[in-house]
């Protein structure tokens, strides 16, 4: 049975006030220690030892990202926290904002100090009213106690944290669109380079961290970053600490749970999620929200080469591989937001793909032609097949469109659309062909479990 950890979640049932945070998890002790006893460089070096892989989707190591920030002779630096969380099936950051907002504020203080910023902006989508209220409440409490402001903990290093609301567009979760939106511009991605560390918010050096990434920081510094990293079953491959796992879809108990990094999908579904609805067999999962290629329940890891990083799992079912940034990449998918979307047998994969393509078509910002036109074509062509008007050639057309989006857009929205599309087409070829030949019709199609 998987053991739950409670470095982030201990205060959930106790309350979200400063008092609870200080009394029950030694809140703000890590920030106090960092500001009063460490140099900026020491903080960054220590942070690297935590092996915190960014929790926003790409899994980039947080400590290394902080180390890219260099003091600029004339420009200020900024810390920007990404709490847009628009990915379907992803709901972990919201839980943290509502139930443990002080971990975020404390993480911002340490993060600002590490990168030399005096201001942190937390970018939250506007409809998350409770999240905004709790964050502002925590900021006010921390300010009143002297943990924010001109001299936090008596240190001459001003830190202010602000909540900035976004209008609720999935593309504004992409870090450079977010920066445009923060500046009051249209939420469209920027060309990189320059990367945010060189020219981010208002043209100044900026670090963009996911909300869970920053909320993890106080626990790591309290425990000692190396100790924190070792909590993970994947510490040896540079994926450290604990993280929030989301389980959605056809499970009996959809939830967000904190675990040491490295549970398997089977453990999440059966130990934590209570098993599949109606005790049906598992059909497939999307490991990270909706933007990553899916894994079928009958897939087996093929890594006969002893030098392969996946050799340890050769011959095992893919659902028994630990969920980690690199392990998932090695089985042809991505960990993404680490919120697993579960589909039971009986789910119609063509309808599931249609559902996703409608989302991506609607959310494409339209800046790049392959994404704007491609997402529309994907949506229309799956719809055509689903309606019974498609042909076998349409299946090849879908793959062709998706392949033409991959690598041809300014931001990773394009891949986020194309990768799940290609996954569905490859792993459920038979079902797509059945729609094309009329052997399957939408009359029987289900996305729910009876």
Is residue 55 involved in binding ligand FMN (CB under 6 A)?
yes
User: β-strand 206-210 against 78-83: which pairing, if any?
Assistant: parallel
| 412 lines the binding site for ligand FMN (CB under 6 A) | yes
399 binds ligand FMN (CB under 6 A): no
Nearest residue to the partner ligand FMN, using Cβ: 173
- What is the C-alpha to C-alpha distance for residues 53 and 70, in angstroms, rounded to an integer? 21
The answer to the question of residue 428 lying near ligand FMN (CB under 6 A) is: no
Contact 448, 402 (CB under 8 A): no
Instruction: Tell me: does residue 86 bind ligand FMN (CB under 6 A).
Output: yes
Please name the residues in contact with 63: beta carbons below 8 A apart, sequence gap of 6 or more: 44, 45, 46, 47, 48, 49, 50, 51, 52
- Decide if residue 85 touches ligand FMN (CB under 6 A): yes
Angle at 10 between CA 337 and CA 132, to 5 degrees: 60
Cβ atoms 120, 81 nearer than 8 A: yes
> Which one of residues 213, 264, 333, 381 is an interface residue with ligand FMN (CB under 6 A)?
213
Closest by alpha carbon to 258, among 1, 80, 3, 16? 3
109 binds ligand FMN (CB under 6 A): no
- For residue 293, whether the previous peptide bond is cis, meaning omega lies within 30 degrees of 0, is no
- Which of these ranges, 21-29, 109-117, 205-213, 299-307, lies near ligand FMN under the rule CB under 6 A? 205-213
Tokens of 87: 């990915």
Task: State which of residues 16, 30, 63, 84 lies at the interface with ligand FMN (CB under 6 A).
Answer: 84
Q: Least distance (Å) from ligand FMN to the CB of residue 336?
A: 9
- 208 lies in the site for ligand FMN, by CB under 6 A: yes
SS (H, E, C) 129-145: HHHHHHHHHHHHHHHHC
Residue with tokens 């079928």: 296
Span from 48-56, 130-138, 221-229, 292-300 in contact with ligand FMN (CB under 6 A): 48-56
Query: Is residue 123 involved in binding ligand FMN (CB under 6 A)?
Result: no
Measured from the CB atom, is 390 or 423 closer to ligand FMN?
Answer: 423
Q: Interaction with ligand FMN in 156-175: which residues (CB under 6 A)?
A: 170-171, 173-175
The interface region with ligand FMN, picked from 78-86, 252-260, 368-376, 385-393 by CB under 6 A, is: 78-86
Distance CA 47, CA 218 (A): 10
Q: List contacts with ligand FMN (CB under 6 A).
A: 54-58, 60, 65, 82, 84-87, 170-171, 173-175, 208-210, 213, 411-413, 416
């Amino acid at each position: 049975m998987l053991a739950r950890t409670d470095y982030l979640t201990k205060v959930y049932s106790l309350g979200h006030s400063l008092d609870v945070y200080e009394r029950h998890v030694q809140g703000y002790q890590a920030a106090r220690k960092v500001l009063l006893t460490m140099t900026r460089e020491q903080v960054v070096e220590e942070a690297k030892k935590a092996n915190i892989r960014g929790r926003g989707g790409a899994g980039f190591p947080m400590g290394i990202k902080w180390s890219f920030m260099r003091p600029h002779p004339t420009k200020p630096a900024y810390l920007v926290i990404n709490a847009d969380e628009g990915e379907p099936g992803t709901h972990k950051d919201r839980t943290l904002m509502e139930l443990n907002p002080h971990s975020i504020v404390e993480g911002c203080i340490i993060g600002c100090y590490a990168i030399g910023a005096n201001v942190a902006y937390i970018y939250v989508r506007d409809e998350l009213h409770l999240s905004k209220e709790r964050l502002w409440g925590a900021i006010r409490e921390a300010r009143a106690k002297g943990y924010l402001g001109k001299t936090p903990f008596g240190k001459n290093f001003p830190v202010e944290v602000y909540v900035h609301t976004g209008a609720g567009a999935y593309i504004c979760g992409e870090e450079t669109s977010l920066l445009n939106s923060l500046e009051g511009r249209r939420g469209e991605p920027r060309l990189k380079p320059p990367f945010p560390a060189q020219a981010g918010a208002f043209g100044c050096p900026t670090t963009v961290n996911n909300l869970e990434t920053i909320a993890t920081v106080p626990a790591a510094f309290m425990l000692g970053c190396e100790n924190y990293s070792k909590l993970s079953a994947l510490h040896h491959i540079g994926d450290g600490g604990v993280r929030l796992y989301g389980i959605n879809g056809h499970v009996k108990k959809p939830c967000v749970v904190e675990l040491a990094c490295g549970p398997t999908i089977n453990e999440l579904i059966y130990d934590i999620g209570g098993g599949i609805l109606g005790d049906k067999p598992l059909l497939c999962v999307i490991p990270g929200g909706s933007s990553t290629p899916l894994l079928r329940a009958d897939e087996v890891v093929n890594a006969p080469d002893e030098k392969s990083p996946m050799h340890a799992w050769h011959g095992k079912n893919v659902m028994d591989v630990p969920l980690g940034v690199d392990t998932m990449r090695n089985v042809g998918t991505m960990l993404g937001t680490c919120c697993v979307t579960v589909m039971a047998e009986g789910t119609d994969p063509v309808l599931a793909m249609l559902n996703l393509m409608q989302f991506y078509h609607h959310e494409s910002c339209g800046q790049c032609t392959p994404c704007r036109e491609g997402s529309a074509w994907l949506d229309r062509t799956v719809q055509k097949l689903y309606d019974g008007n498609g042909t076998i050639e349409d299946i090849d057309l879908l793959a062709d469109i998706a392949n033409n989006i991959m690598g041809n857009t300014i931001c990773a929205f394009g891949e986020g659309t194309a990768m799940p599309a290609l996954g569905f087409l490859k792993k459920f070829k038979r079902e797509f062909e059945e729609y094309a030949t009329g052997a399957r019709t939408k009359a029987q199609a289900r996305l729910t479990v009876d």
